[in-house]
């Protein structure tokens, strides 16, 4: 019997209109409450909401934990924003190694990351192989590796330790460790790239236009990745919002790189003494194009990767130790039993060969990178339809996102204590470092695209961290909140405010 105020026809129409709403509200929402797939707009509201609240990393990790490590994200209809997000090592191994040719970076990725041009980070096929071959050749030379160790020691002795000494002598004895380490990493990477020390790490904290421009560019890249293609392209066309800031940042970056290349070429023509840096190696290689575009893209990608990896990892390393003092004591115990060098000012520095033998110290760095990978996400496209080991199907036009941040937090991979900072998980019963496959520990990527500068980054991280720890104590300022910022790099949103004291 129909309700007295509705005819039978009206009731049927009412129910017919209500059913689609009930379907999405009860079926879609309860299947995936963290990211409901709404009509027209898809899952975009959930993404934007968590981006606004700066919860992207926690949200995406929880999604992957609830969906057994694999998740399809569907954007607005007809937007082309269909993503397959994975934290499954079997899928990672398949995508990045076993069927590598089917998962190029793709044209859209290159357009989003246009700031680094046609470099090793954005190219595919023969162009990518050429970039990688030349970079590996330059970095494998013995004189370049000697140059890295010598430069890092000199920078520690003449820059970072005197800087911390000045901080201790101040009344507040507080420093933003993130700002300090980012400046240090920028200086060191500039020396390795151009042979020039910009001297950005000093008590005056001078403005570094290139560093600010790099931060603006990476923030815009994340904005592009989290929005439909047409959306950010429209902003770019009108040069408004983050795209306006990106345009200004690109001008600063291009000018900085152009000046560095010009100065190096002039020094070589004049026969002046030059450092055996990356740019020098490229200019001496007759098989490398001498065009400004090739040199600009190559050195910029190296500079950007070096600056971000070392500083970001060191920040999270010191924050983790501030929360786990017993781990810091174990590291100090190891450092006390190896040979060290004393500077004229009474400071202690270490040789990289000595640090290489410290198992627990290295395990602590690996544990840091497990929980806090410098690049929390990596991206690929799909060339041909494929069935992944998880049973998931991917098709052309779909984007693949691998979450290194979530992989390090998967209980089925690392155990119930996966959220704990525990270097012991990397050490065998015999006291040696355990081997963990790179597709399970993806902080330096995996497969043919694995990070070329991994050994350089780890060497610099250990040398800087050892000298800082042995000479000074660091404690997190009371009430200071530490959380990741919304970016493609795992920077800290509020910096890392630390109290610094001389270690006795």
Q: What are the boundaries of each domain within the chain?
A: 113-376+421-502
What local confidence, expressed as pLDDT, does residue 129 receive?
Answer: 96
- CB within 8 Å of 469: residues ≥ 6 apart: 321, 328, 331, 332, 335, 503
What local confidence, expressed as pLDDT, does residue 39 receive?
Answer: 82
What local confidence, expressed as pLDDT, does residue 20 receive?
Answer: 56
Q: Locate 475 and state its tokens.
A: 């404690």
Distances (CA, A) of 39 to 219, 374, 399: 29, 35, 21
Q: Locate 274 and state its tokens.
A: 């030059």
Place of tokens 């990745």: 225
pTM value is 0.91
Q: Locate 162 and state its tokens.
A: 């005197």
Task: Note whether 426 and 363 are within 8 A (CB).
Answer: yes
What local confidence, expressed as pLDDT, does residue 290 receive?
Answer: 81
pLDDT means per 10 residues, the chain with 504 residues, are 51 55 48 70 87 89 94 88 95 98 95 95 96 92 89 94 92 89 94 90 87 91 90 93 95 95 88 83 88 93 89 97 97 93 92 94 97 96 97 95 97 96 96 95 95 92 97 96 92 95 88
Helix (H) or strand (E) holding 247: helix 242-270
Task: List beta partners, residue 82.
Answer: 74
Closest by CA to 282, choosing from 256, 303, 263, 261, is 261
Is 418 one of the annotated binding-site residues? Answer: no
Label residue 309 exposed, middle or buried (CB < 10 Å: 0-12, 13-18, 19+).
buried
Spelled out in words, what is the top-level CATH class assigned to the domain 113-376+421-502? mainly alpha
Q: 399-403 and 82-86 as β-strands: parallel, antiparallel, unpaired? A: parallel
- CB within 8 Å of 243: residues ≥ 6 apart: 220, 232, 235, 236
Q: Locate 347 and state its tokens.
A: 């400071």
Closest by CA to 400, choosing from 96, 78, 128, 67, is 96
State the alpha helices, DSSP H only, in 56-176. Answer: 56-66, 89-93, 107-112, 125-140, 142-155, 161-169
What local confidence, expressed as pLDDT, does residue 80 receive?
Answer: 82
- Rounded CA gap, 422 and 145, in Å? 31
Closest by CA to 184, choosing from 308, 2, 32, is 308
Q: How many residues does the chain have?
A: 504
- Rounded CA gap, 452 and 482, in Å? 30
What local confidence, expressed as pLDDT, does residue 28 receive?
Answer: 46
Q: Locate 136 and state its tokens.
A: 């590996």
Q: Locate 46 and state its tokens.
A: 């959930």
């Amino acid at each position: 019997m129909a309700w007295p105020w509705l005819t039978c026809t009206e009731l049927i129409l009412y129910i017919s209109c209500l059913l689609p709403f009930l379907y999405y509200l009860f079926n879609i929402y309860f299947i995936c409450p963290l990211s409901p797939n709404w009509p027209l707009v898809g899952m975009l509201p959930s993404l934007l909401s968590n981006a606004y609240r700066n919860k992207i990393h926690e949200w995406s990790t929880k999604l992957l934990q609830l969906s057994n490590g694999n998740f399809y994200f569907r954007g607005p209809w007809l937007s082309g924003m269909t993503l397959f997000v994975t934290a499954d090592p079997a899928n990672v191994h398949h995508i990045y190694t076993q069927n590598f040719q089917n998962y190029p970076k793709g044209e859209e990725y290159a357009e989003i990351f246009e700031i680094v041009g046609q470099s090793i980070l954005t190219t595919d096929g023969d162009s990518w192989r050429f970039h990688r071959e030349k970079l590996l050749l330059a970095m494998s030379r013995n004189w370049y590796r000697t140059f890295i160790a010598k430069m890092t020691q000199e920078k520690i002795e003449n820059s970072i330790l005197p800087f911390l000494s000045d901080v201790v002598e101040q009344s507040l004895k507080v420093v933003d460790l993130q700002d300090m380490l980012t400046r240090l990493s920028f200086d060191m990477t500039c020396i390795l790239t151009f042979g020039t020390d910009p001297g950005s790490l000093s008590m005056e904290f001078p403005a570094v236009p290139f560093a600010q421009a790099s931060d603006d560019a990476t923030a815009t890249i994340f904005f592009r990745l989290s929005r439909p293609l047409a959306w950010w392209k429209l902003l770019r066309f009108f040069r408004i919002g983050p795209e306006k800031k990106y345009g200004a940042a690109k001008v600063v970056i291009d000018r900085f790189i152009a000046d560095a290349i010009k100065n190096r070429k002039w020094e070589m023509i004049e026969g002046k003494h030059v450092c055996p840096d990356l740019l020098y190696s490229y200019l001496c290689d007759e098989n490398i194009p001498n065009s400004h575009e090739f040199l600009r893209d190559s050195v910029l990608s190296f500079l950007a990767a070096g600056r971000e990896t070392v500083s970001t990892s060191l920040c999270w390393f010191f924050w983790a130790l501030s929360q786990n003092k017993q781990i810091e004591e174990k590291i100090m115990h190891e450092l006390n039993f190896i040979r060290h060098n004393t500077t004229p000012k009474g400071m202690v520095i270490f040789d990289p060969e000595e640090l290489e033998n410290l198992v627990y110290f290295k395990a602590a760095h690996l544990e840091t990178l497990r929980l806090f990978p410098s690049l929390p996400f990596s991206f690929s496209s799909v060339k041909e339809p494929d069935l992944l080991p998880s049973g998931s199907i991917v098709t052309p036009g779909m984007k693949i996102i691998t979450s290194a941040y979530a992989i390090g937090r998967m209980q089925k991979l690392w155990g119930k204590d996966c959220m704990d900072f525990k270097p012991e998980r990397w050490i065998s019963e015999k006291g040696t470092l355990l081997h963990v496959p790179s597709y399970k520990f993806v902080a330096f990527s995996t497969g043919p695209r694995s990070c070329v500068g991994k050994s350089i980054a780890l060497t610099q991280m250990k040398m800087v961290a050892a000298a800082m720890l042995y000479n000074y104590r660091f404690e997190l300022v009371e009430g200071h909140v530490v959380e990741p910022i919304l970016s493609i790099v795992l920077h800290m949103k509020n910096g890392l405010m630390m109290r610094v004291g001389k270690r006795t």
